[in-house]
Structure 1
Amino acid sequence: MTLREQRALVTGGGRGIGRAIAAGLTAAGARVSILGRDEATLREAVAAGVAADYATCDVRDEASVAAALDQLSREPAFDIAIANAGAVETGPFMRSDNERFRRMLDINLIGTVNLFHATLPAMLEHRRGRLIAIASTAGHRGYPYVSAYTAAKHAVIGLVKSLALETARSGITVNAVCPGYADTDMATASIDNVANKTGKSREEALAAMIKDNPQGRLIAPEEVAAAVLYLCGPVSDAVTGQSLMINGGEF
Structure 2
Amino acid sequence: MNEQSKASVAADRAFTGQHVLVTGASRGIGWSIAQAFAARGATLSLAGRDAALLEQRRAALNTSGASNHTAFSADLADAEAATAMVRHAVAAHGPVDILVNNAGYGASQPFAKMTAEHWNQMLGINLSGVFHVTRAAIDGMLPRKSGRIINIASTAGLTGYAYVAAYVAAKHGVVGLTRALAREYATAGITVNAVCPGYVDTDMTATTIETIVRKTGRSAEAARAELAKSNPQGRLIQPEEVADAVLWLAGAGAASVTGQCIAIAGGEVMP
Which category describes the TM-score, using the shorter chain as reference length?
over 0.9
Q: Which amino acid aligns with 1:244?
A: I
In the alignment, the residues of structure 2 paired with residue 91 and residue 207 of structure 1 have an alpha-carbon distance, to the nearest angstrom, of: 22
Q: CA RMSD in A?
A: 1.2
Aligned to 1:192: 210
Aligned to 1:17: 29
Task: Confirm whether residue 112 of structure 1 aligns to residue 140 of structure 2.
Answer: no
Q: Deviations over 1:148-180 (max 9, x none)?
A: 100110011000000100000000000000000
Deviation at 1:73, TM superposition (A): 3.6
Q: Which amino acid aligns with 1:60?
A: A
Aligned length: 251
In the alignment, the residues of structure 2 paired with residue 76 and residue 246 of structure 1 have an alpha-carbon distance, to the nearest angstrom, of: 32
Aligned to 1:55: 72
Deviation at 1:72, TM superposition (A): 2.8
SS of structure 2 residue aligned to 1:77: coil
Gaps of 5+ in 1: none
Aligned to 1:230: 248
In the alignment, the residues of structure 2 paired with residue 243 and residue 69 of structure 1 have an alpha-carbon distance, to the nearest angstrom, of: 25
In the alignment, the residues of structure 2 paired with residue 143 and residue 127 of structure 1 have an alpha-carbon distance, to the nearest angstrom, of: 38
Q: Which amino acid aligns with 1:63?
A: E
Deviation at 1:137, TM superposition (A): 0.2
Aligned to 2:83: 66
Aligned to 2:140: 122
Deviation at 1:101, TM superposition (A): 1.5
Alignment of 1:200-239 (within 5 A): 200-239=218-257
Aligned identity (percent) is 47
Task: Confirm whether residue 3 of structure 1 aligns to residue 15 of structure 2.
Answer: yes
Q: Which amino acid aligns with 1:93?
A: F
SS of structure 2 residue aligned to 1:186: helix
Q: TM-score, normalised by structure 2?
A: 0.90
Q: Which has the larger radius of gyration?
A: 2
Displacement over 6 Å in runs of 4+: none
In the alignment, the residues of structure 2 paired with residue 169 and residue 29 of structure 1 have an alpha-carbon distance, to the nearest angstrom, of: 28
Counterpart contact for 2:96–2:137, Cα < 8 Å: yes
In the alignment, the residues of structure 1 paired with residue 177 and residue 60 of structure 2 have an alpha-carbon distance, to the nearest angstrom, of: 34
In the alignment, the residues of structure 2 paired with residue 7 and residue 73 of structure 1 have an alpha-carbon distance, to the nearest angstrom, of: 9
Q: Deviations over 1:97-132 (max 9, x none)?
A: 222221111111101001100100110011000011
In the alignment, the residues of structure 2 paired with residue 102 and residue 39 of structure 1 have an alpha-carbon distance, to the nearest angstrom, of: 23
Aligned to 2:108: 90
SS of structure 2 residue aligned to 1:169: coil
